[in-house]
Amino acid sequence: MSDATTVDYDGLIPNNVGLNDDARVRRALETWYPGYLDWWRTMGPEGFQDALVYLRTAVGVGAEGWARFGYVKMPEYRWGVLLAPKSEGRTIPFGAHKGEPAWQEVPGEYRAMLRRLLVIQGDTEPASVEQQRHLGATAPSQYDLRNLFQVNVEEGRHLWAMVYLLQKYFGRDGREESEELLRRHSGDPDTPRMLGAFNERTPDWLSFFMFTFFTDRDGKMQLHALAQSGFDPLSRTCRFMLTEEAHHMFVGETGIQRIIQRTCEAMREAGIDDPTDVERVRTLGVIDLPTIQKKANLHFSLTLDLFGSEISTNAANVFNAGLKGRYHEDRLTDDHRLLHDTYPVLRLKDGAVVKEEVPALSSLNMRLRDDFVADTEAGIARWNRVLERAGIEFRIRLPHVAFNRRIGEFAAVHADTDGRLSDDATWQARKAEMLPTADDYRFVQSLMRPMREPGSYSNWIAPPRAGIDNKPGDFEYVKIAT
Ligand SMILES: [Fe+2]
Ligand SMILES: [Fe+2]
């Protein structure tokens, strides 16, 4: 038997869940593996399957030294099943079963609910790999190319994480769901991914960085909520996934930061003070700040939809059941049952946006979304410090939560980025100020030229402050097979 902190690397599937002693689950995963590899080759990073990529691989689950760096061909990446160590005597931290021992097996009465949570989380992981599969061709540097692939292989591992739970705890249903996770594809008209933002295109690197900044952050919030789960295997799985997720946040935040920095530098060199002089800024071959703002508006609003309806009985049920908690549930000091509490929710009432106190249990989606917005704002503030230091009179800001929504309270209305409701004609007339236009996409696309020379960066993005794994600036992160 392996204990939870040592990882068994000898078999086909690296793991710290004792697969060697669990023939049924090992066979199920080994049977699933060829289909996964086939999916990776056909739906994963296009054109780089034989390249040697300098990647980190998880080799432990302790706080220190959990990853090892080295060159690897992506199809040979050691995707594994890794759970954070078990904490002895853990109890269910919230809901109707609060205080009871955490479940090591699926509680029968919540089986369907739990399976649904795993499938929805699992579906997002391969979806983003699919969305990003064409980006390798236009990477602005070796460093960025490597980061893209790091995110991709880890999303692949996150799929493994959910598939393990499905195969281990859900028998035949779990096997079928695991196959379905490979069968649905992002943007496929017949078999799309389950959630809207995961069927959108990621056509360029500005989109990629926005996606990792906003949409991966939704992932982070969901994982935090699931890490609190009373179903202990899910909690341990998500806790380990969060260690990987931090790098995805880093890629998005610093990606946009470097774009802003480069735009500021180019404007300064050219003596342009007015950030809204889009035409002139674009002639410098950098991305103008209003376009960055519009992209942020788009990705923020798409990501808010992922949190679901503000008021939701389903959210109340999964909390009550002890399956999905709140962000940092274990640091909150209320009764963790919420039967008598309320929470403020922005609602649409008689054609106006108003704040209303709603039973706390029903507004858990809203609460997680608020935590997401707060987390996002910290990153935006760091982008704005670049603008401030450069002395440029422009700040990126988040649009109002009612802006451009398809789900929840504001799905049926048009609101501008300040939350002012408008009729259809006004919305159509003003849309191009608030969301990227076809012309904006064309311009960004025109900048997307691959930069393969180690240490060189496309003109529209600044180099990072430090290399990955402390590597020097001209390090060859990706050895492209010729
Ligand atoms: Fe993920
Ligand atoms: Fe991620």
What one-character-per-residue DSSP string does 75-108 give? GG----B--PPPPTT-B--SSTTTTSBPBSS--G
pLDDT of 292-337, one tens digit each? Answer: 999 999 999 999 999 999 999 999 999 999 999 999 999 999 999 9
Compute, in angstroms, the gap from residue 118 CA to the centroid of ligand 1. 12
Task: Give, as residue ranges, everything with CB less than 5 Å from ion ligand 1.
Answer: 125, 155, 158, 219
pLDDT of residue 5: 61
Looking at residues 180-200, what average pLDDT do you find?
96
Compute, in angstroms, the gap from residue 28 CA to the centroid of ligand 2. 25
Domain count, the chain: 1
Of the listed ligands, the closest to the CA of 151 is 2
Looking at residues 449-477, what average pLDDT do you find?
96
CATH of the domain at 71: 1.10.620.20
Compute, in angstroms, the gap from residue 236 CA to the centroid of ligand 2. 17
pLDDT at residue 272 is higher than 90: yes
pLDDT of residue 1: 41
Asked whether residue 118 is domain-assigned, the answer is yes
Compute, in angstroms, the gap from residue 18 CA to the centroid of ligand 1. 23
pLDDT of 222-243, one tens digit each? Answer: 999 999 999 999 999 999 999 9
* Among the listed residues 69, 47, 143, 197, the one whose alpha carbon sits nearest the alpha carbon of residue 455: 143
pLDDT of residue 351: 87
pLDDT band for 358, please (50, 70, 90 cuts): very high
Of the listed ligands, the closest to the CA of 126 is 1
Supply the mean pLDDT for the chain. Answer: 95
Compute, in angstroms, the gap from residue 124 CA to the centroid of ligand 2. 9
pLDDT at residue 66 is higher than 50: yes
Asked whether residue 167 is domain-assigned, the answer is yes
For residue 134, report the phi and psi dihedrals to the nearest 5 degrees: -90, -5
* Among the listed residues 90, 93, 117, 94, the one whose alpha carbon sits nearest the alpha carbon of residue 106: 117
Compute, in angstroms, the gap from residue 63 CA to the centroid of ligand 1. 19
Compute, in angstroms, the gap from residue 277 CA to the centroid of ligand 1. 38
pLDDT band for 264, please (50, 70, 90 cuts): very high
The answer to whether 157 and 69 have CB atoms below 8 angstroms apart is: no
Compute, in angstroms, the gap from residue 347 CA to the centroid of ligand 1. 31
pLDDT at residue 206 is higher than 80: yes
Of the listed ligands, the closest to the CA of 161 is 1
**Strand, coil or helix: what is 434?**
helix
- State the pTM of this model: 0.96
Of the listed ligands, the closest to the CA of 241 is 1
Compute, in angstroms, the gap from residue 197 CA to the centroid of ligand 2. 14
Asked whether residue 10 is domain-assigned, the answer is no
Compute, in angstroms, the gap from residue 182 CA to the centroid of ligand 2. 18
Looking at residues 54-64, what average pLDDT do you find?
84
Please give the share of the chain, as a percent, with pLDDT higher than 90.
94
Range of the domain at 248: 19-479
> Can you read off the two tokens belonging to residue 112?
């369907």
pLDDT band for 482, please (50, 70, 90 cuts): low
Compute, in angstroms, the gap from residue 85 CA to the centroid of ligand 1. 19
> Can you read off the two tokens belonging to residue 447?
């900048």
Report the C-alpha gap between 323 and 234 in whole angstroms.
Answer: 9
Compute, in angstroms, the gap from residue 219 CA to the centroid of ligand 1. 6
> Can you read off the two tokens belonging to residue 386?
């670049």
Asked whether residue 130 is domain-assigned, the answer is yes
pLDDT of residue 4: 53
> Which residue matches tokens 């691989």?
57
Asked whether residue 4 is domain-assigned, the answer is no
Compute, in angstroms, the gap from residue 213 CA to the centroid of ligand 1. 13
pLDDT at residue 3 is higher than 80: no
Q: Which amino acid is at 444?
A: V
pLDDT of 361-396, one tens digit each? Answer: 999 999 999 999 999 999 999 999 999 999 999 999
Compute, in angstroms, the gap from residue 300 CA to the centroid of ligand 2. 16
Looking at residues 337-359, what average pLDDT do you find?
95
Compute, in angstroms, the gap from residue 42 CA to the centroid of ligand 1. 20
Looking at residues 26-44, what average pLDDT do you find?
97
pLDDT band for 65, please (50, 70, 90 cuts): low
Asked whether residue 448 is domain-assigned, the answer is yes
> Can you read off the two tokens belonging to residue 280?
């002139």
Looking only at the bridges linking them, the beta strands covering 421-422 and 352-359 are: unpaired
Please give the share of the chain, as a percent, with pLDDT higher than 70.
98
Compute, in angstroms, the gap from residue 125 CA to the centroid of ligand 1. 5
Compute, in angstroms, the gap from residue 274 CA to the centroid of ligand 1. 39
DSSP 112-158: HHHHHHHHHHHHHHHHHHHHTTTGGGG-SSHHHHHHHHHHHHHHHHH
Helix, strand, coil fractions of the chain, as percent rounded to 5: 50, 10, 40
Asked whether residue 318 is domain-assigned, the answer is yes
pLDDT band for 2, please (50, 70, 90 cuts): very low
